[in-house]
A and B are shown apart, each in its own frame.
Chain A
């Protein structure tokens, strides 16, 4: 039986999956149109979610024991509705994720995590004991720390690893096909660290932001002559949670604080100020010269997140480019022209 457990939203504590003997496998969508998903979900719903469903229907995913779907936004809520009926067979676990960060929310989330663990353990091989969970927490922290360290060298502006390579490494890190592969995370990071950088640090330094960033966008930005040095998205930088302060004796409370207290995503409406501080810190530390926002089509959170970023950039006098995307990889022509014009404008500044 497969030990791979699928997950989507970055508020899914993978530590619990690991501790229960599963190998967490992130569903990152697919390229191309999603005609079959479109018969079950309306056309004006998040294309990332549609593409994950399409991949499941078309059996393009590796064999999964199940999938954890966090009800983190409307699109995910509806994915959770249709998945059992039209998606994959296997276990489907639904996780409720608060949209706020305070003691009440942390406590509530911790209870949901405890429930998730017991639901998973039911069909898994072992009941989850807390020691194992703490071990998994440390294991994941070790990995995230290594990633953070690697990505911090981009702040200094010397010989930075390119965004394209980083995104590729992060994608591989999120989608190991078995535990053996997952254990090799250090190899992925070391290879990236050793890779000679062929991209000049003098190129325009960019912050790329959005809900989830398509890898081909970063590749295109760099092919056009920009340098992506900070990818603010749930498939990149926002994965790299720093350890939660005020360590609790209870691992579920710890995880709840770790995830809810991490860099906020656009859905955390209550945390908009924190999100602005996050951008400010990135801009200052990473010497950002321009910002590109990828607005996922039909993502209500991203639509308004962009407005906040726009006002942030206006205040800081930072040039901002908005690109709309449907996650199909089909926006190339239009994107390219606009990216080139944007980079040209940055170069003459």
Chain B
């Protein structure tokens, strides 16, 4: 049984909102998931799911102060403070799987949230206002890359009457920018301590950075393995681990999951257990993917043997953190993002991915409303064309299933594959 079927069977009744707040739901859910262990092709994915259930339980049962954050905020701060981080954009993905997206999107529309806005945030808005999300104790958000997230999260904080902290991230990477961001991180951290009445524990804070470094090391090792031919993990499978990049850095559990994935992957490379019977092409995937049932990866990987070997979102763009200088090193991490600064930085990073992973093509999933990712495509396309690398810009929506046109997607993918193979 797939996880969403399971969840729906617990939450699908009229008691839905109440069920979300019942410890029984999580206990039963965990038991059910645990019992399915051997059906999971990757034990790391199984572990990730169990951890995510724990994290959801902590948030919905308010086991600690719940802090909402956007996916680019350095979560090390939140784990370091011992709070319960909650990422509404990531939770929107779960809402899609649960089949409540349509209703939530309607609610957002009814509240005048424009349909031109990113649907992750429209969906999060609807889920929150319909009572599907745990209320925040505070909201933190970084401004980098995305204009919608700060706006949407500030509106949510105002709706719940809780403090909103903006981490303003410039596009420069120089010392003045570093100082500016580091000071903000420090001030946000201690403002959270004060307003939420948290106990400041320096060791715990440093431990979050140590965890972050350990997770980074493991992810780097995983990425190095994935650079080898033939691929031993399909892109579709690897994609689920992006969650950790968006919400898990700083947590000990993320180190565990990456560790397990690394062990399994290494074993598969040793055994030469191929991801697909015949690897015909290798691809880099940019931005995210659709989270409702769709045939994209089936067409690419299973039918055509074109394996996604690298996801932009799994790219390690920062240097290790220094636990002795937490705010500076987190500021440096934030500022290192390849999406900041002139578009040439992102292009260089993508070309480096193409080389390192020996990829023959690049697909960008152009999520409707995501201006940060799509706006620079023309220059990326030019750069890839210069290198003779086939590129497909696949338009769609990550969470709004009504925007998915299976026939058109197949045609576009097949056209691209023809060029590639």
Contacts and interface: CB of A to CB of B under 8 A. Distances in A.
A188 B190 CA distance: 51
A310 B159 CA distance: 13
A342 interface: no
Contacts, number: 116
B157 to A, nearest CB: 10
Contacts of B150: 99, 269
A300 B168 contact: no
Contacts of A304: 117, 148, 151-152, 154-155
B146 interface: yes
Contacts of A148: none
A112 interface: yes
Interface string A304-315: 111110100000
A80 interface: yes
Contact of A108 (B118, B143, B176, B371): B176
Interface string A70-109: 0101110110111001000000001010111000110110
A237 interface: no
- Which residue, of A105, A112, A270, has the highest number of chain B Cβ atoms within 10 A? A270
A42 B114 contact: no
A298 interface: yes
B120 interface: no
B342 A80 contact: yes
A77 B374 CA distance: 12
A303 interface: yes
B195 interface: no
Nearest to A39: B378
Contact of B371 (A40, A71, A78, A270): A78
Contacts of B117: 300, 303-304
Contacts of B372: 74
A98 B376 contact: no
Interface in A268-325: 269-270, 272, 295, 297-298, 300-301, 303-308, 310, 322
A100 B166 contact: yes
A300 B150 CA distance: 10
Interface residues of B, number: 43
A98 to B, nearest CB: 5
A75 B166 CA distance: 20
B382 to A, nearest CB: 8
A44 B155 CA distance: 23
B166 A270 contact: yes
Nearest to A49: B375
A100 B155 CA distance: 16
Given A73-B147, A74-B372, A307-B155, A99 B116 contact: no
A41 interface: yes
A111 interface: yes
Given A74-B375, A78-B343, A300-B148, 13 more contacts: A42-B371, A45-B375, A74-B146, A74-B147, A74-B371, A82-B379, A96-B171, A100-B168, A105-B168, A267-B147, A270-B168, A304-B151, A310-B112
The 3 closest A-B pairs by CB, nearest first: A304-B151, A78-B375, A300-B147
